[in-house]
Structure 1
Amino acid sequence: MELVEIVILAVVIALVAVGLVGGLVVGSRKKKQLPPPPPSTPTITPPAEPQVGEEAETPRDEARRTIDEVGLPDAAAPVEEEAPVAEAPEAPALEVPEPTAGRLVRLRARLARSQNSLGKGLLTLLSRDNLDEDTWEEIEDTLLTADVGVAPTQELVERLRERVRVLGTRTPDELRTLLREELITLLGPDFDREVKTEGGAETPGVVMVVGVNGTGKTTTTGKLARVLVADGRSVVLGAADTFRAAAADQLQTWGERVGARTVRGPEGGDPASIAYDAVKEGIAEGADVVLIDTAGRLHTKTGLMDELGKVKRVVEKHGPLDEVLLVLDATTGQNGLVQARVFAEVVDITGIVLTKLDGTAKGGIVIAVQRELGVPVKLIGLGEGPDDLAPFEPGAFVDALIGD
């Protein structure tokens, strides 16, 4: 019995212990608090509808019209016109080129300023009391310095010596007259210096302008267009210089000033094709003259020179060329003769244009280049002005050379 009581007592003690442990666990769970909830996001109240102003009055109740009561606009009512479109600016008025007759005479003073050293030097030497060998050598040197050339210089000196000896010429007026006559003789007064632009019955006159880079070839072509327009001729320009940047633009600007149309192609295009099209357009328009500006060929480049010959052959499919003008820079002196010789072998030069003649005292190049090619100088450039290209007149040129 004691054993049974002991067992029961042990069971009771165990149950009590289990109960105490369970109570502690449950109590600890009850004491643990959950984390506080996140703060609630405040409710944003949307602003009231915007009003005309703070003092806007409350809309009044008004009778509203139905769609049938709303009248349509009167069809006869004038409709507001659109603003007029700005008109394109008018083309600038065409320029009236200066008449060509007597241009060289009018420009004589400008030519004389740069050429006087030659004429005055010769007259001073010829006026010496004793024309000995030393004096004649000085005369030769003066002529050679002016780029007259060796052969023409020797010929001129020999003729002067003979006439002075025979005539006994001594006065300044007599010497000037004597020198003037001999210089005009050297310039070839019998040369036909007219620029041929007549063409055929149904084809315009065709002029091709050639020359090396830097001689003023494109500018000369534009100025020649002015010369022809001043003489009453209609002109079409062919921009066959496709290798120099803006050459076609430059030529077109010259043409627009006097109403001459310019036929052009893409930069780097075929010059022969453009030249052909220019003549074709000239025929279609019934133009009097077609001027073709070619690229500035370096005379040392055989391939480019051959291409220049091609341009000439293509143009001649329409008819013969009336003129092939070689543009030379007067300041290049004897080097211009080398250029002239090579060009003459390729395209049969018919006339020479000497540019920048007002900027050099070497006017003797006129004599030398004519002797070299047997071709006349037909035009000379005497300045930067648009009308400073003048037909060459031997008498007026010599008068400017030696002064009054």
Structure 2
Amino acid sequence: MSSTAEQMRAWRGPAILTFGFRPFFFGAAVWATLAMALWIPMLSSALVLPTDFDPVSWHAHEFLFGYLAAVIAGFLLTAVPNWTGRLPIVGWPLGGLFALWIAGRIVVGVSQVLPPLFVAAVDLAMPAALGAVIAREIVAGKNWRNLIVLSMLAVFTLANGLFHWEAAHGLYAPQGYGLRLGLGAGMMMIAVIGGRVVPSFTRNWLAKRGGGRLPTPPMQRLDKAALLVLLAALLMWVIWPHYLLTGIVLLMAGIAQAVRLVRWAGYRTGPEPLVAILHVSYAFVPLGALAIGAEILWPGTFGTAAAQHLWMAGAVGLMTLAVMTRATLGHTGQPLTAGVGTVGIYTAVLIAVLARVGAGFWPNAQDWLNVVAGLGWIAGFGGFATVYGPLLLRLPPDKRPGG
């Protein structure tokens, strides 16, 4: 095949297997919706899953290593062909990767009746296979600058394995090394990849409007310094989560990332929510670092769970939603603008984040705030599956076989 378009036209199977973003973005949104719908009754013990994880461990694992892993897969399988100039993976090989991800969700959910080693092996199979695929493409395309992305994926996969090990040994995994390492890897992915795409997409959109200040080009000296400070802060947080020095370095990282964000001219993007949401999402990276740092230095300021949800629900949830909406529109030939439905799903997830963080500030109201957060999350990601599902599940007329 000489082009991606020809490869897509030649495929005679389901349209969802014509590009990596299709199955994994749709699957991620469906799983985010379903997992939250299960989690709300689990909070009140109205539902008990046959999983060997305690309820909080299952919740944390499935949103970090279940949902986020799917979005990472969809993004990388779509972006790496652009980075390397090689053809994307389509058809049954893509379907096989997606099936491995589904298998991971199933075995974790019924892990009470399965050996822990088997559960971990099945759950780690998709990210491990994805890493092998991405490594092959980077090496074949001699795209060495993106080895950093592969290294972050490797750390994320290692963190998932560590989470399984901690849970199997009776440790409280949501406060363990595995979760912190996995969340730290996720933050570095957002900081590195988001640090490229947010100013680039913003510049492209502002340039079309004409006039005014444009974002500072990505990966200048300040960007690199801010990334190094963030990396140091995350490593310290993973290893020494309660040390005062860790809190201080996290505050430094938060300030550095905030300065970095200000340089991208986000204040000019209000007229286009598809661009503005990138800046709002990225803002949760410095906000989370500042909140976690403050919680270490002055315990009780935010509450550990609330502070971490600025990263987990805010940075991860909103940024992945922003990337999924933009990538889906762009790769299906739609105008790069946010319609009413897209604005609605952004708003729903933002409400969910604020409600979840608010539950840490107002413990007396946390029961109903957690329900609001869960319902907002379901509305946001269920809305994505509803609004964007037709684009993901069907090919445009000119990409269909014979089109």
Answer whether TM exceeds 0.5 for this pair: no
Q: TM-score normalised by the shorter chain: which range applies? A: under 0.3
Q: Could you say which structure has the higher helix fraction?
A: 2
TM-score by length of 2: 0.23
By relative contact order (CA 8 Å, sep 6+), the higher-ranking structure is 1
TM-score by length of 1: 0.23
Q: Could you say which structure has the higher strand fraction?
A: 1
Considering only CA atoms, is the larger Rg found in Structure 1 or Structure 2?
Answer: 1
